[in-house]
Amino acid sequence: MGEVILGFPGPWADDNLEASDHYTTKVGGLPDLPFQNVNPTLLDCSQCGNKLCLVLQIYAPVSIERTRIDERLLLVFGCLTPECGSSSLGWRVLRVQKAHDQEFSEVSQEIGPLTTSTSAPTTNWWEQLDDENDEEVDLEELERAFSEVATEVSHAKRTPSKLHSKTVSNSSNLSSARVVDVKTPVVPCFYIYMEDKPSSKDISICNNYASLSIKENLSDAEEEKWSEEGYEYDQALTADRTYLKFKKKLDASPEQCFRHSYGGKPILARAEDGEAGKCKACGGSRQFEMQLMPPLLYFLQEAADESQKQLLETWNWMTLLVHTCSESCSKSSEKSDDGNWIITEESVFVQFEKPLNGSPKVGFFTPQHELNLTKT
């Protein structure tokens, strides 16, 4: 627990309605659930009643003591209504997972065959290498066997690029069969690849390189203006230690769309992180699992059409904090039709920068002229 995984932008979907599977991690589009029907009220805004749009889908298996839950995903939904996007009530998080309580060893045995290729060699070459056998080994055949094993391991890892290629190749057939509610808004869709948080040494190198890359492309006048704007920005946000720590973590990986750390600690934009509450299904405690970061908004706005851009501007938060059941329980009353999957609503809290003197809420992408107004 506590390991930090960062989500970075991958390729854009060919179609925002493109379908894949529940192992896919992506921003926008439509949710890819392992079952057909969902209680429609779970996809409604709790404040205005309008349909929510998918913001993030993340495949998030977890291990708790001796239990491993591999079939598990989180879905973050947001409301595009201006009054709702700036409120925690306009956001919902659903945890979807397979309903089972199996021991780690049993689950490992169950999923083991899924990670092996059907074309894997059945011959164990090491068993054939008898010390008393002086026969000459066919090196070409041995090399071919090792090559097959290496290929098997490579496929088992399922890198994001390979997983995405598989998804896209099947998307045309899946999209044609997908039924879409015309009332459901859809924001631009792009896929996510995940990496472990870089070390402090890597962060230092990345920051220096990024700084040089930016300044190399600026004239003297532009560089001076850029520096002044950066100073004004920090001053306008009345940066305190909490915010500066947040900004430092963000600057270390400036394209991170989310941070996942099951049972870890969030990085806060403000000292107040809200109340996570108790799990609605089992009554147990919740713990931090994930937070959405400002670059996610930037990439969405880059691909949105003009009408969507205006709506997405209301999503002007610094971070969204997601807390989930500490036991990742399977006691929800909401289940798939076959009873094999459970759906549980979890906690989400929206953080804006603290307003000054009663000024409007300030977010990471608040225009400069609005920031200047907060200083008057």
Q: Is residue 324 one of the residues assigned to a domain?
A: yes
pLDDT band for position 322 (50/70/90)? very high
Length of the chain as a residue count: 376
Q: Is residue 33 one of the residues assigned to a domain?
A: yes
Residue 63: pLDDT over 80: yes
Lowest mean pLDDT among 36-50, 87-101, 122-136: 122-136
Q: Is residue 175 one of the residues assigned to a domain?
A: no
Q: Is residue 269 one of the residues assigned to a domain?
A: yes
pLDDT band for position 361 (50/70/90)? low
Mean pLDDT for 17-46 is 94
What is residue 93's predicted lDDT score, i.e. its pLDDT?
Answer: 97
Q: Is residue 80 one of the residues assigned to a domain?
A: yes
Mean pLDDT for 337-362 is 77
Mean pLDDT for 225-235 is 45
Q: Is residue 348 one of the residues assigned to a domain?
A: yes
| DSSP characters over 143-186 | HHHHHHHHHHHHHHH--HHHHHHHHHHHHHHHHHH----TTS--
| 365 vs 303, more confident | 303
| Residue 206 near residue 43 (C-beta atoms within 8 A) | no
Report the domain count for the chain.
Answer: 1
- 149, two tokens: 């094993």
| 270 vs 371, more confident | 270
Lowest mean pLDDT among 8-12, 205-209, 351-355, 362-366: 205-209
pLDDT band for position 195 (50/70/90)? very high
Between CA 15 and CA 244 the distance in angstroms is 38
Contacts of 272 (CB under 8 A, 6+ apart): 351
Residue 262: pLDDT over 70: yes
Residue 346: pLDDT over 80: yes
What is residue 142's predicted lDDT score, i.e. its pLDDT?
Answer: 62
Structural domain that includes position 243: 5-99+183-199+234-352
Q: What's the mean per-residue pLDDT of the chain?
A: 74
Residue 232: pLDDT over 50: no
Q: Is residue 123 one of the residues assigned to a domain?
A: no
What is residue 2's predicted lDDT score, i.e. its pLDDT?
Answer: 74
| Residue 351 near residue 279 (C-beta atoms within 8 A) | no
User: Nearest Cα to 314, choosing from 346, 352, 347?
Assistant: 352
Contacts of 252 (CB under 8 A, 6+ apart): 198, 203, 206, 207
Mean pLDDT for 101-106 is 42
Lowest mean pLDDT among 17-31, 104-118, 239-253, 267-281: 104-118
| Residue 91 near residue 350 (C-beta atoms within 8 A) | yes
345 membership: H or E segment, kind and range = strand 341-351
Note every long-range contact of 240-248, with CB atoms under 8 Å and residues 24 or more positions apart, other chains counting. Answer: 240/271, 242/268, 242/269, 242/270, 242/271, 243/269, 243/270, 243/353, 246/318, 246/319
* Most confident of the ranges 173-187, 195-209, 352-366: 173-187
Residue 338: pLDDT over 50: yes
> Does the predicted TM-score (pTM) go above 0.85?
no
Residue 17: pLDDT over 70: yes
Residue 184: pLDDT over 70: yes
What is residue 132's predicted lDDT score, i.e. its pLDDT?
Answer: 46
Strands 286-292 and 26-27: unpaired
Q: Is residue 281 helix, strand or coil?
A: coil
- 211 φ, ψ (degrees, to nearest 5): -65, -45
Mean pLDDT for 93-119 is 54
What is residue 129's predicted lDDT score, i.e. its pLDDT?
Answer: 44
Residue 275: pLDDT over 90: no
pLDDT band for position 118 (50/70/90)? very low
Q: Is residue 119 one of the residues assigned to a domain?
A: no
